[in-house]
Chain A
Amino acid sequence: MTTNIFGRNVLGFALAAVMLSMAAPAAEAQQRGSDPEHTLDMTWDRWLDHDEIGERMKLMECTWPQFLDLQSIGTSYGGREMWLMTINNPATGPEAGKAAMMIEANVHGNEIQGAEVTLYTIWYLMENYGRIDGITRLVDERVFYILPTVNPDGRDYFLDEHGSGARTGHVPVDSDGDGAFDEDGPNDINGNGLIEQIRKFTPGEGTHRVSALDPRIMERVPPGEVGDWVLLGSEGVDDDGDGRVNEDPVGGYDPNRNYASDWQPNYIQGGSMNYPFELPEARAINDFQMAHPNIAGFQSFHNSGGMLLRGPGAAWQGRYPQSDIRVYDEIGEFGERMLPYYNYLVIWQGLYTVHGGSIDWTNDGLGIVSFSNELWNGGQYFNSPLLQRQQEDPRDPTNGQRSRYFFDDFLEFGDEYVEWAPFDHPQFGEVELGGWKKLSGRVNPRFMSMELFHRNMAFTLYHAESMPLMSMGETTVERVDGDVYRVRVDITNERLIPTITARALENNVVRPDLITVDGDVEIIAVGWVADKNRPGPTQLIDQAELDRIMVRSGHPGRTTKTIEYLVRGRGDMTVTYSSLKGGTVSATVQVR
């Protein structure tokens, strides 16, 4: 049984639910040809507004109710729900006992395609659970929290309204300091549904000229020369009659500068607002993350440039501890192999300085290994060595700035460009409107979406795979004398990321791991075994409560440690290792 979704209005949520209820044994999909039928056919070739995202999430929740749980973690300033999907297999344990990977996107209103990556991730994991062993195991071992859009107001403003370049959310800010809020933004003055650019013909007095290679290219004239055109910004008029155009659009801040690590005031970090977590969206996310200390991995999708970014956001924060850097480097360098055209970079070194960014807070304040991918690199338009060699030829139509027009002309059939057309502007007089549409540049062409979605998902799944996973290994019981026994238990973190990062230890922001003992035996002493294969001393654990050992430094990645108890008595003895980010595991031995 197949359910199709062609577009937002074709199939309402209620109808879908009815169809699904009729198709109860949907999981028993028939193998036809080389590929299994999908339980839920979804198309991935259009950009979804906030309502459509919600519809898809509800539909997926109805389709896979045993794994998916949809909730709103808060409402945006504009009253839109912040939908978050939990993926958890309750048969393998409750959420809190498993490491969670949180994936969010679209904190900047115009950086949209991460939302579709996250929806694709939910869909892919569900479609392939029970079919691909690696996916089945991942879903069984881990929890996923998926928040497709952090900034639903900004997303809808970008997709459905006038926010063609707007990063901001919609909390009103008096950007021009005139006492009025958001009173003069862009306007679609020619009524074609687009916010274009304005240029004015000013012969001999301009800053730009039309390129000889392609009349659509506006070149800035070199110093000492004059051009015939000036660029006057985005399409709009002087709404408030103050003599300026578009000087106070909606919002006017950077929603990814409102987090609580290295937050700085506006004059140091533009757009940071008045205090950390002032923005309702940032606060809702932080509240959720603080209430879910099992989150061990975090990805925040942005665009663009093709980057796998990690903190710190500012040089003055100094370097991460070396052991944390090793973990990041391994994941980031793996990512470079999985994502051609993407580079693994530190934010301040490779991008620019960011104070109060989201992943700085999750790393420093919450102890979560965090990445931010800048989706889409313009180099991917010409993604072969052959094409790149052709581009190097100055006479080639794909050379330099012309490449973008070439691509639009021949691969998108001119879909992303609006020819300049005259317009009589109330403030500027005779001008022309035109230029690139909002989807070009930062957002990949739709036909290239699948690869972008899948590769970036694969990177987050690798990140999820790297989260700590505790297990108990070999146990031994050896009689020392009388009723005194030596009990040894191997404790392993099977994966790359430690249960507690070095930065989390420095800041005391993650509860220590706990090793507890239940049973009738009396504990005389506890220690770490230096080397199981050689006789020799153990590292005595000097703590007051030997049946509740605190391990502040956590368990390193891909490491087995052996703990040794010297006990008096006989009977069952259960040793439990409890880690907020690595799970809880136990081993029971018979002491006799």
Chain B
Amino acid sequence: MYGVAATAAMLLFAGGVQAQSSRYLDFDDLSDELRTLVNGSPNASMRSIGRSLEGREIWVVEVANTAGNPLTERPGVLVVGNLAGDHLVGSQLALETIRFLLNDPTAESVLSDQVVYVIPRLNPDGAEAMFAAVKYDRKGNAFSYDDDNDGRFDEDPGEDLNGDGMITLMRVPDPSGDFMVDPDDPRLMKRADKAEGETGTHTLYIEGVDSDGDGSLNEDGAGGVDLNRNFQHEYPYYQADAGLHMVSEPESRGLMDFVVANRHIGAVLTFGHSDNLVTAPDSRGQLADPSVSDLSAFAGEANSDIYQNGVFSGGNRGGGFGGFGGGFGRGGQIGARGAPLRGAQPGRDNDPQSGRRPAVTVNTQDLEYFSAVSEAYKEITGITEIGVNRKAEGAFFQVAYYQMGIPAFTTQGWGLPVAESDDETSGDEQAEAEEPAADESEAQEFRAGRGGRAGRGGARGGAQGSGDDGGFDTKLIGAMDAAGIEAFVEWSSYDHPEFGTVEIGGFMPYVTTNPPAEQLPELGRKHGEFVVRLAGMLPRVNIVSTEVTAHGGGVFTVTAEIENSGYFPTSLQHGVVSRSVQPTTVRIEVEPEAILTGDAKSSTVQRLDGSGSRAKFSWVIQGNTGQSVEIWVRSQKGGTDTATVTLR
């Protein structure tokens, strides 16, 4: 049984470990579960970073053993889930990550030396829709947005016409439609290939009626801003689901303010509809091409022209009547002249051909880290094939890397069953992936029967899933069939008030983006394990040796060597390029006048590689024999350390 309807079974007890949750949790249950975890451990606390529009708290759980260095001087990991309202699996895996960290012995050093911040559900208002009587893939928060810009808000949502508790799709016979039933699988639709003599027979719509009588169907439902499209990197300007502007929502602002205030966060993991873990950025630093469901894309086309309705050409052509005349008095002369190009000089920043652009691909010097983390992820989780993969526009993990210089990762958190490997399905990315031990991965239990054809698109080609060679849906439905997941509402006819006889059917809400609930405990444990591995890669900077040489006359040379024993460098190269990660600073605590020569009182190293890389600093100072001198090092993402030397 899928999802929320599953009974509240508590499974998998293990000596003293609290029960893992194998059902999807609404806000109250998730909050209770978090409280139980936090109250049951000295190593966790929770607070709110803000409230959603409907007043739900956005919890952050701080996981650390607070004995030792202050948390803000430790390397930190941030985990964020459920930014898109329908991606509840993210919040559940975040919850299980907390449980794992608090209970698994492998996490002890993470708790004592580092800190993990977990924000399980950034979008609690959107997530709540999964527990409503009628379900649809609600990604947005509770902001009321006039999607079709007609002056009315949320006035034409989809409706559950056939009363099955879900809003799916309608296929409507339409001689001028663009789509036809896929001859290979009558559940699916394909775009008619006119060059091949095919004729469109249908138009697709979201299930429902024209509530506002404007001639368009279901063009403005409730559910405003998809928070993972509301951030300020490659932001999709002026898209209905992306908000009025970047970081417009209280939930996204809360998250930004949190990361800005906690610059010691050295790695970010988010759960969402995009991916850079199963497929690491390629050699040019680009993410895998997106793949989206063809059926929902086709249905989206039904409303593609709503912004054209009401666009009229200019004033009265052939006018000349009325008191004000038509158009502008001076006609084309003005436009031809325009504002003069004063001051523009070729090659300067005011030259249209030049000007520095923000990076949109991973810096090649950073790629090895992304690859290594990806390998670790696949090794631990066994996930090698993912389902729907959305283009990362306005996604938070991208801001974390591109604007804050933090190694940042994202994953759907579960895998599609892997198709047979004897055809093209396994594409070049998969070929490189390690074969996970089959018995370790639940995903491996499933074998997709029909992956071959879709595999030509694969995860990379799916963006053109509407193409004529079998779309992404073929792969998706094949995987679901093979896994025995009930994911599709078979088309059945319905007497529609506006269209007459139509068919209602399509993918069930939530099912293609959230795994069956019984997989959650195991997936959660694996993601906990992954977070421990990721935390272990953070930079860790220490003073590893000091030396004092006396020259007589109260003159000494003090030398200190620092080492980064973590795997990540103290700053990724993009952190250096974007000037967003502070250099590691080494300071000798003497009066500035006491330094005769050598390094400056405060000296910096922009980027210290990991895996034992070292840097040495020397000061020639004036002092008294027997005097203690403190040396201090601070790495924004790699912690702080001090050492005291005695002048002798």
Interface centre among B338, B353, B634, by most A CB within 10 Å? B338
Are A242 and B601 closer than 8 Å at their CB atoms? yes
Contact (Cβ within 8 A) B245 A241: no
Pairwise interchain contact A559-B149, C-beta atoms closer than 8 A: no
Interface string of A535-547 (1 = CB under 8 A from B): 0000100111100
Task: Give Cα A562 to B358, complex, Å.
Answer: 48
- The smallest C-beta distance from A349 to any residue of chain B, in angstroms, reads 5
Contact partner of A545 (CB less than 8 A), chosen from B213, B244, B353, is B213
Q: Is B303 an interface residue (CB 8 A)?
A: no
Asked if A346 is at the interface of the complex by the 8 Å CB criterion, the answer is yes
Determine whether the beta carbon of A276 is less than 8 Å from that of B246: yes
Inter-chain contact A490/B322, CB cutoff 8 Å: yes
The complex places the Cα of A534 from the Cα of B580 at a distance, in Å, of: 67
Determine the distance from Cα of A326 to Cα of B332 in the docked complex, in whole angstroms. 9
With contact pairs A275-B246, A512-B150 given, residues A322 and B335 touching in the complex (Cβ less than 8 Å): yes
B437: interface (CB < 8 Å): no
Decide yes or no: A512 and B149 within 8 Å by CB, A266-B580, A530-B317, A539-B312 being known contacts. yes
Decide if A519 is an interface residue (CB 8 Å cutoff).
no
**In the complex, per-residue mask of B130-161: 1 if CB is within 8 Å of any chain A CB, else 0:** 00000000000000001001110000000000
Q: A577 at interface (Cβ–Cβ under 8 A)?
A: no
B339 touches A267 (CB 8 A): no
On chain B, the residues within 8 Å of A310 by CB distance are 339
Docked-complex contact A552 and B309, CB < 8 angstroms? yes
Please give me the residue from chain A that is nearest to B595 by CB atom: A243
- Does A437 sit within 8 A of B, measured CB to CB? no
B260 contacts A274, CB within 8 Å? Answer: yes
With known contacts A274-B260, A552-B309, A332–B315 Cβ distance under 8 A: no
Contact flags (1/0) for B432-465 with A, using CB distance below 8 Å? 0000000000000000000000000000000000
A509 at interface by CB-CB < 8 Å:
yes
Alpha-carbon separation in the docked complex, A32 to B20 (Å)? 88
Closest partner residue, chain B, to A344 (CB atom): B339
Contact check, A329 vs B334: say whether CB atoms are below 8 A apart: yes
Closest CB-CB distance, A323 to chain B, in whole Å?
A: 8
Q: Does A569 contact B (CB under 8 A)?
A: no
The B-contacting residues of A in range 232-288, CB under 8 angstroms, are 238, 241-243, 260-261, 263-268, 274-278, 286
Whether A420 sits at the interface, judged by CB under 8 Å, is no
CB pair B247 A277 closer than 8 Å? yes
Name the segment of B24-32, B180-188, B343-351, B467-475 touching the other chain: B343-351
Q: Are A349 and B238 in contact (CB under 8 A)?
A: no
- Judge whether A508 is part of the interface by a CB distance below 8 angstroms: yes
Question: Which of B149, B215, B578 interacts with A265 by CB under 8 Å?
Answer: B578
Q: Which of B9-17, B99-107, B323-331, B515-523 contacts A (4 or more CB under 8 A)?
A: B323-331
Chain A stretch 270-321: residues in CB contact (< 8 A) with chain B: 274-278, 286, 290, 310, 314-316
Count of chain A residues with a beta carbon within 8 Å of a chain B beta carbon? 83
In the assembled complex, the Cα of A441 lies from the Cα of B583 at a distance in Å of 38
Known A276-B245, A316-B357: A332·B317 in contact at CB below 8 Å: no
Minimum Cβ distance to chain A for residue B498 (Å):
11
Chain B: CB-nearest residue to A315: B352
**Is residue B319 contacting chain A, with contact meaning CB distance below 8 A?**
yes
Complex CA gap A173/B349 in Å reads 26
Q: Which residue of A lies closest to B314 (CB)?
A: A556
Asked if B369 is an interface residue, CB under 8 A from chain A, the answer is no
Residues 559-579 (chain A) with a chain B CB within 8 angstroms = 559-562
Contact check, A552 vs B342: say whether CB atoms are below 8 A apart.
Answer: no
In whole angstroms, how far apart are the Cα atoms of A329 and B324 in the complex? 19
- A128 at interface, CB cutoff 8 A: no
Instruction: Determine if A267 and B579 form an interchain contact, defined as CB atoms under 8 angstroms apart.
Output: yes
Question: A549 CA to B325 CA in the complex, in Å?
Answer: 24
* Complex alpha-carbon distance, A539 and B329, angstroms: 25
Cβ contact within 8 Å between A267 and B577? yes
Q: Is the CB of A485 closer than 8 A to any CB of chain B?
A: no
Which chain B residues border A314 with CB–CB below 8 Å? 355
Q: Known contacts A242-B602, A322-B335, A343-B342: does B321 contact A560 (CB below 8 Å)?
A: yes
Q: Does B611 contact A (CB under 8 A)?
A: no
Task: Tell whether, in the assembled complex, residue B356 and residue A268 are in contact, meaning their CB atoms are under 8 Å apart.
Answer: yes
In the complex, which residues of chain B have a beta carbon less than 8 angstroms from the beta carbon of A514? 151
B271 to chain A, nearest CB (A): 21
The answer to the question of A217 belonging to the interface, with a C-beta cut-off of 8 Å to chain B, is: no
Smallest beta-carbon distance A144→chain B, Å: 24
Contact partner of B307 (CB less than 8 A), chosen from A326, A530, A552, is A552
- Is residue A507 contacting chain B, with contact meaning CB distance below 8 A? yes
A36 smallest CB distance to B (angstroms): 33
- The answer for the CA separation of A514 and B337 in the assembled complex, in Å, is 34
Q: A179-B634, A326-B328, A553-B312 are in contact. Are A349 and B245 (CB under 8 A)?
A: no
- Give the distance to chain B from A400, nearest Cβ to Cβ, in Å: 21
Give the shortest distance, in Å, between B204 (CB) and chain A (any CB). Answer: 20
Contact with B232, one of A263, A267, A328, A545 (Cβ below 8 angstroms) = A263
Contact B316 A559 (CB under 8 A): yes
A239→B601 CA distance, assembly (Å): 15
The answer to whether B358 and A264 touch across the interface, beta carbons within 8 angstroms, is yes
Query: Would you call B310 and A549 a contact (CB within 8 A)?
Result: yes
- Say yes or no: B351 contacts A265, CB within 8 Å: no
B310 near A552 with CB under 8 A, answer yes
Contacts of B350 in A (CB 8 A): 315, 348-349, 352-353
Q: Is the CB of B316 within 8 A of A561?
A: yes
B582 in the interface (beta carbon within 8 A) = yes
B632 to chain A, nearest CB (A): 11
| B5 part of interface (Cβ distance < 8 Å) | no
Given the known inter-chain contacts A277-B245, A543-B215, please indicate yes or no for A492 contacting B310, CB distance below 8 A.
no
Residue of chain A at shortest CB distance from B577: A267
Q: Which chain A residues lie closer than 8 Å to B335 at the CB level?
A: 322, 325-326, 329
Residue B301, interface by CB 8 Å: no
Contact with A along B201-233 (1 / 0, CB 8 A): 000000000100111000000000000000110
Query: Which of A267, A316, A345, A544 has the largest number of chain B CB atoms within 10 A?
Result: A267
Output the nearest chain A residue to B591 by Cβ-Cβ distance: A241
Q: Out of B210, B342, B583, B592, which one reaches A345, CB within 8 Å? A: B342
**Contact of A329 with B349 in the complex, beta carbons under 8 Å:** no
Q: Does A480 contact B (CB under 8 A)?
A: no
The answer to whether B215 touches A528, judged by C-beta atoms less than 8 angstroms apart, is: no
Report if A188 contacts B (CB, 8 A). no
B1 in the interface (beta carbon within 8 A): no
Q: Cβ of B327: which chain A residues have Cβ within 8 Å of it?
A: 556, 558-559
**Does A178 lie within 8 Å of B349, measured CB to CB?**
no
Q: Is the CB of B322 within 8 A of A560?
A: yes
Tell me the chain A residues, 454-505 only, with Cβ under 8 Å from chain B.
Answer: 473, 490, 492, 494, 496, 505
Q: How far is the CA of A556 from the CA of B324 in the complex (A)?
A: 11
Query: Is there a chain A Cβ closer than 8 Å to B402's Cβ?
Result: yes
Q: Does B256 contact A (CB under 8 A)?
A: yes
Chain B positions within 8 Å of A265 at CB level: 232, 358, 402-403, 578, 580
| Residue ID in chain A nearest B325 by CB atoms | A558
Within the assembled complex, what's the spacing in Å between the Cα atoms of A286 and B151?
20
How many angstroms between the C-alpha atoms of A545 and B151 in the bound complex?
Answer: 13
Residues of A within 8 A of B210 (CB): 544
> What are 20 A-B interface contacts by the 8 Å CB criterion?
A238-B592, A263-B232, A267-B579, A278-B256, A316-B352, A326-B335, A345-B340, A365-B244, A511-B151, A532-B321, A539-B312, A543-B215, A543-B310, A553-B313, A558-B326, A558-B328, A559-B316, A559-B326, A560-B316, A560-B324
Q: What 17 new A-B contacts, CB under 8 Å, besides A350-B342, A511-B151, A559-B322?
A: A241-B591, A260-B245, A263-B232, A265-B232, A265-B580, A268-B356, A314-B355, A325-B334, A326-B335, A328-B339, A353-B350, A507-B238, A543-B215, A551-B312, A556-B327, A560-B322, A560-B324
